[in-house]
Amino acid sequence: MNLYDFFTANPKVALAFSGGVDSAYLLWAGATYGAQVRAYYVKSAFQPEFELADAKRLTKELNADLRILEVDALADPTIAANPVDRCYHCKKIIISTIQRAAAEDGYSLLIDGTNASDKLMDRPGMRALKDLSVRSPLRECGLTKDEIRRLSKEAGLFTWDKPAYACLATRISTDEPITAEKLYKTEAAEDYLFSLGLSDFRVRMMGGSAKLQVPERQLPTVLAKRQEIVSELKKHYNAVLLDLEVRE
């Protein structure tokens, strides 16, 4: 099966839309193959503002329907406690919220951007997708991340080379409670590093310290701007550490 076959068989679908590479290409493919696709973006404290901006930009460029929903993930005590399966509980809330909204809008099938490169056993949120009967056309069609980037570039999507970006909650160690303040600090720190031209990095929270994980090729930039980075990040953290074990 290819995506044309999928959208021919399923001409009306709701899409769990993040504004990332995979869901962006899936939205484009649905529109290209004549399907009626409505994108649903869930806004919470776990998503940085630039993700919403990208989602709005892409749907505008594709002239696609977008509905923005809001979820207070931290209101759920299990999610806020940050257990090892936090992603499962968070994903269930997000998907359930989208499914309710989609049903209101007349959509019975929900799809997402999971691709053939995603390791299902390594991602707790995948279990939530299965439990809630979400379909993943990219994975069903055997499309890998590299293929999706290539096809996105050919389609002229600005998302084709967008770095992978996990939610802000992943920067906080398992079993360390998640708070709005911690998420704010993380987003502010990563926004600053983005402004320096860095990408594919993470700012992990270790107690009151920030641990920077950057690709090896970007270490010279970090070291050259060490003083500025330390000065900026110490507005939010007690110390700034550099993880030298990170690989490409």
Two structure tokens written together for 61: 């460029």
Is pTM beyond 0.95? Reply is no
The three-state secondary structure class of 128 is helix
Residues 74 and 133 in one domain: yes
Tally of domains in the chain: 2
Residues 13 and 103 in one domain: yes
Residue 173 belongs to a domain: no
Residues 49 and 113 in one domain: yes
- Among 161, 191, 217, where does a domain finish? 161
Residues 83 and 139 in one domain: yes
Angle at 130 between CA 129 and CA 135, to 5 degrees: 70
pLDDT tens per residue, range 60-72: 999 999 999 999 9
135 Rama class: left (phi>0) / alpha (psi -120 to 50) / beta: beta
Instruction: Give me the pLDDT at residue 98, please.
Output: 98
Task: Read off the CATH number of the domain in which 8 is found.
Answer: 3.40.50.620
- Residue of 237, 231, 229 lying closest to 205 (CA atoms): 237
Instruction: Give me the pLDDT at residue 216, please.
Output: 92
Two structure tokens written together for 33: 């193959």
pLDDT tens per residue, range 195-243: 999 998 999 999 899 999 999 999 999 999 999 999 999 999 999 999 9
Q: Is the pLDDT of residue 27 over 60?
A: yes
Mean predicted confidence (pLDDT) in 55-62: 96
- Among 126, 161, 196, where does a domain finish? 161
Instruction: Give me the pLDDT at residue 163, please.
Output: 87
Domain enclosing residue 188, as ranges: 179-242
Residue 31 belongs to a domain: yes
Residues 133 and 218 in one domain: no
Residues 62 and 154 in one domain: yes
pLDDT tens per residue, range 72-117: 999 999 999 999 999 999 999 999 999 999 999 999 999 999 999 8
Question: 21-32 vs 49-61: helix axis angle to the nearest 10?
Answer: 20
